[in-house]
Amino acid sequence: MTKEEIIKPENLVYKKTPVLTNNVMHYCPGCGHGLIHRLIAEVIEEMDIQDKSIGVAPVGCAVLAYNYFNVDCIQAAHGRAPALATAINRLYPEHFVFTYQGDGDLAAIGTAETIHACNRGENIVMFFVNNGIYGMTGGQMAPTTLKDMKTSTSPYGRDLNIMGNPLKITELIAQLPGAVYVTRQAVYTPALARKCKKAIRKAFENIKLKQGTSFVEIVSNCNSGWKLPPVKSNEWLEQNMLLFYPLGDLKINN
């Protein structure tokens, strides 16, 4: 069979969405970020809203997310993505504004901006990738780091008496009247990834319907930070992270 014989529309099984660029991702092999990016980009393509989408990148591993999303993007200061998204949403109310943040960005330094944007019910989507660690800076303790979990700043494990408790910020967000759709997803199996994509779709549909804030947590892995091979890291995620951060919808609007 020649190449030309293979490349035919009827033989197509997978096509990269044009809402992702051709840049090679800097994420570690096995990391969930790449897949999460793809799911978001596919939803933007399927809803045909590329020209009206504006992404706000965080500080953290996804700081370079704008290299991959083929939409207009702004790189925010650490923790402030919801403040930027608030203004953009108010100034361009017909646009689809989303933030993409990690646990340190969204649930530590940016807690105030996160809670207030959700409480005001900004008509945006906030994607919260929770891997329980500061990946970008080399594996320090995050607000979501589990009890006894070892990181470079909790080398003997997270001692709750000294370091405080892991923060379930998504449960907090679900209490706020402005947050209309609050869900916790994962992408480490194909089935979960498909489910996650549905959640992403619903979140973007909420913007179209001007419902308020949609908050999508995605519990993900950090094989480098956790010092585990990719497959092992997914097993660890399932056996540890999900016990404390159970998957499912916390709040669903009509």
Query: Which positions touch other proteins (CB under 8 A)?
Result: 21, 50-54, 56-57, 63-64, 66, 69-77, 80, 83-88, 90-92, 95, 112-113, 116
Cβ-Cβ contacts under 8 Å for 247 (sequence gap 6 or more): 184, 185, 186, 192, 219
Phi, psi angles (nearest 5°) of residue 75: -100, 115
Query: Within 13 Å of residue 20, how many CA atoms lie on the same side as its CB?
Result: 18
Shorter beta-carbon distance to other proteins: residue 154 or 213: 213
Instruction: Give min distance, CB of 228 to other proteins, in A.
Output: 27
Q: Which two tokens stand for residue 168?
A: 């379930």
Instruction: Give min distance, CB of 77 to other proteins, in A.
Output: 5
Shorter beta-carbon distance to other proteins: residue 70 or 131: 70
Shorter beta-carbon distance to other proteins: residue 70 or 234: 70
Instruction: Give min distance, CB of 203 to other proteins, in A.
Output: 18
Q: Name all contacts of 73-81 with Cβ < 8 Å and 24+ positions apart.
A: 78/104, 78/105, 78/109, 78/110, 79/105, 79/106, 79/108, 79/109, 79/110, 79/111, 79/113, 79/114, 80/110, 80/113, 81/56, 81/57, 81/105, 81/106, 81/110, 81/113, 81/126
Shorter beta-carbon distance to other proteins: residue 77 or 247: 77
Select from 158, 183, 187 the least CA-distant residue to 170.
183
Phi-psi region of 246 (alpha: psi -120 to 50; beta: other; left: phi over 0): beta
Instruction: Give min distance, CB of 81 to other proteins, in A.
Output: 8
Shorter beta-carbon distance to other proteins: residue 124 or 142: 124
Shorter beta-carbon distance to other proteins: residue 17 or 240: 17
* Dihedral sign, Cα of residue 56, residue 61, residue 63, residue 68: negative
Instruction: Give min distance, CB of 136 to other proteins, in A.
Output: 11
Instruction: Give min distance, CB of 4 to other proteins, in A.
Output: 28
